[in-house]
Structure 1
C-alpha cells in the first residue's frame, strides 16, 4: 500500500527535480511514491530520466500542449497520486521518504490526525549565493498536538508573525490525508487549490477543514532556493521583477483581494496578505483586531531588506499602502528599523534549541545532499515512538 505521495511540480528546472528524485529513490522503503508534474518547455530531460530510473515508485506527468499555471499544474497532480497521505515540495527542495515512519507513528498515537507538518531546513544552492550564508536547524524531536484555534490566531490574526504568519499546516512541506484533500475539494467549488499563490491558499483551506493537527519538531524536508526560484526573488530586486512578471503572465485567476491596496511587488507580507484576504472575502469571513499584527509584519518585511536604499523604498511604499488602507493613525504600528550590519558576523552556535551554522557545511551541492549531511546529526526517526507530547 502506498502510504505517502510526494508531489513535485516543476517548470524548466528539471535538473533540480532530478536531484531530489534521485536521492529519494535511493531509499529502501516501498511505501511511498514520487509524482513529478512536468510543466517545462522541453519534455525530453525528465522523460529520459524517468525511463532510465525504471522505478515503479516514480511517476511522471508529461507537459501538455500549453503552459499550465502553477495552480493548474498543482491541481492535476493530486488526481494522479495513490497515497493515503499527500505532500508537495518545490523542484529545488527535498523531502525525506522516512516521513512515512513519522506518518506511521502519528497514525498510531493520534488516530484522527489529518494534517501533519514538521521542522524545515533552508538551503540556498551554491550558484545562487553571493557570499557566506548561515542557516539553522531545530534540535527538537517530539510529536506535538497543535490546537486548531491557536493556528487560526496565527494565520488569520497574524499573531506572533514575523514577515508572514506562523502557521505551517498545509500540503506544501506538510502532509495531509487524502480524505482531507477530498473534503477541501468538495468544500471549495471542486478545486484543491484556488488562489494563484497555491501554498498559502492551501494553508487557509487546510486550516478551515482539518480536524486534528500534529507537528514533529525534527526537520524532515529542505526549502531550497536555486537561482531561478521564487525565494531568490524575495532577496534580489532584479530577480523579483522577473519572477513576478513570469508568475503574472502564466497564472490563472485573480491574485489581488478587493480593497487591499498593497502591491504584490512590495514583498512576501503583501503577497500573503492578498491570499488570506481573498480567501476571507470569498468565504464571507469577517474578523477584526488583526490589522495591527499585519502592519507589524509589513515592518518586518522591510527589515528583511539588506540594501539601505531598497529598505527605504519598501518602507515608503508600505507606508503609503497602510495610509490608503487604514489611515494615518494605523502607522502607529509601523516602525521598521534598518538592522543590516556588515561589520557584525552572523551568529553561529546553539540558541533557543536551534543550531545555527554556515550553510556551506560539508560543501553540499544540492538540497538533498545538504539534508543527508544534517540527517546524521539529527534525532533518528526510527526512535520516534513514545515522543508524543
Structure 2
C-alpha cells in the first residue's frame, strides 16, 4: 500500500529536479511514490531521464500540457493523481525524507483523528545561490506537539502574533495532509484542492480550518532548498525579484488574481515580501469564505514593521516602507496608518556571520558545510538530530 505521495511540481529547473529525484530514489522504502509534474517549456529533458536512467516504478512523470500551467494548476493535477494515504508537496530544489512514513504511521496509531502533520524544516542554499555569506539551519528538538486549531486560526487569519510570518505551517507544502482531508477540502472549496496563486499558504488556510487534529513534530523531515533559479532566490536580488514576479503574474492570468483588487498590498509590487504575500492570500481566503478577521488591521501593522527589521539594505528598507505606507493609506480608509511607524533602518551586519545553537536551532556557515544539495545536507544534519526510528517509537529514554 502506498502510504505517502510526494508531489514534485517543476518548471524549467530540470537540473535541480533531477538531483532531487535521484536523492529520493536512493531510499529503499517501497511504501511511497513520487509524482513529478513537469510544467517546463522542454519536456524532453525529464522524459529522457525517466526513460534512460531512472526506471523506478515508485516514480511517475506527468509531462507538460499544450500550454504552460499556472503553478496552482500543476499542484492540482498532481494531487488528483496521487494514490497515497498521505499527500505532501515539495519544491524541485528541496528534499524530504521518505522515512517520514514511519512518523505518519506512529501518529495514526497514537492519534486516530490526525489529518495533518507538520514538522520543523531545515534550510539550505545551493552553492549557486550564495551571493553573500549565508547560514544553514538545523532544528535540534524532537518532541511532539498537538496544535490548538483556534490558536492557529488566530495566528493566520487575524495575525495575533504580530510577526512577519505567522507560526503554524500546517499544509501540503513541506507537510503531510491525509487524503481524506484533501478530498473533503475539494468538495467544500469549489471542487478544487488548490485555488490561489500563493498555493502553499492557501493550503495552510484550508487545512487549519478543516482538519480534525493537527500534530507537529519538532524533528525536521525536509529541507527547504534555494537554488539560483528558485523563486526564493529572487529575494537576494531586486532585479531578479522583479523579473520573476512579472513572469509569475503572467503565468497566473485567468485564475484568482495574485494582486487582490480589494486588499491594497499587491504581491507583484517590488516592495512586497513574504509578509504581504501571506496577508494577501489569507485576506482573500477569509473574505471568500466568510471568516472573521477581527483585529487583523492593527495586528498586520505590527507585522509589517517586523518585516522591515529584516531588510538587507537601506534601499530595500526604503522600498518596503513606501510599499506598506501606500497600502495602509488605502486599507480600511487609512484606519491603521497611524500604527505603522517602523524604526529607522539599522542594518543586519552580523545576520549571516554567527554560527551555533540559538533557541533550539543550530546555525552553520554554509561555506563550511560538506554538502552540495539539500539531500546531502539532510544526511549531514542527521548526525545532530535524533534518528527517526527512535522518534517514531515513542521512546522517552535512550540508552547509549
- Same fold by TM (over 0.5)? yes
SS in 1 for 2:114: coil
> Which segments of structure 1 move beyond 4 Å, counting only runs of 4 or more?
none
Deviation sequence 1:77-98 (CA, Å, 0-9, x none): 1121110000000001110111
Q: Give yes or no for contact 1:319–1:331 (8 Å, CA) kept in 2.
A: no
Give distance in 1, aligned partners of 2:350 and 2:293.
44
Q: 1:345 to 1:305 in 2, by over 3 A?
A: closer
SS of the residue aligned with 1:219?
strand
Residue matched to 1:386: 394
Cα distance, 1:328 vs. partner? 6.5
Give the equivalent residue in structure 1 for 2:323.
Answer: 317
Number of residue pairs matched by the alignment: 388
1:335 lines up with 2:342 in the alignment: yes
Q: CA deviation at 1:333?
A: 4.4
Q: Which residue number in structure 1 is paired with residue 303 of structure 2?
A: 297
CA distance in 1, matches of 2:307, 2:386: 33
Does the C-alpha gap of structure 1 residues 59 and 336 become closer, same or farther in structure 2, counting only changes over 3 Å?
Answer: farther
**Cα distance in structure 2, aligned partners of 1:344 and 1:286:** 37
Q: Tell me what 1:13 maps to.
A: 13
Normalised to the residue count of structure 1, the TM-score between the two structures is 0.95
Q: Distance in 1 between matches of 2:107 and 2:336?
A: 47
User: Bigger CA drift: 344-353 or 128-137?
Assistant: 344-353
Indicate the SS of the match to 1:376. Answer: helix
> Are 1:116 and 2:117 matched, yes or no?
yes
Q: Does 1:259 align with 2:262?
A: yes
Q: For structure 2, which runs of at least 5 residues remain unmatched after alignment?
A: none
TM-score if structure 2 supplies the norm length? 0.93
Higher mean alpha-carbon deviation, 370-379 vs 209-218, is at 370-379
Superposed displacement of residue 148, structure 1: 0.7
Q: Does 1:364 align with 2:371?
A: yes
> Could you tell me how far apart the structure 2 residues matched to 1:81 and 1:328 are?
46
For residues 13-45 of structure 1, give each alpha carbon's deviation from its aligned partner in whole angstroms, at most 9, with x where no partner exists: 011111111111111111101110000011111
Once residues 132 and 303 of structure 1 are traced to their aligned partners in structure 2, the CA distance between those partners, rounded to angstroms, is 19
Inter-partner Cα distance in structure 1 for 2:220 and 2:347: 28
- Paired position in structure 2 for 1:246: 247
Is 1:8–1:91's contact at 8 Å kept on the other side of the alignment?
yes
State the Cα distance separating 1:174 from its structure 2 match: 0.2
Equivalence for 1:276? 282
Q: Judge conservation of contact 1:315–1:336 (CA < 8 Å) in 2.
A: no
Q: Counterpart in 2 of 1:3?
A: 3
Contact 2:5 2:33 in 1 (8 A): yes
Distance in structure 2 (CA, Å) of the matches to 1:328 and 1:334: 14
Which residue is 2:47 aligned to? Answer: 47
Decide which moves more: 177-186 or 286-295.
286-295
> Could you say what secondary structure the match of 1:360 adopts?
helix
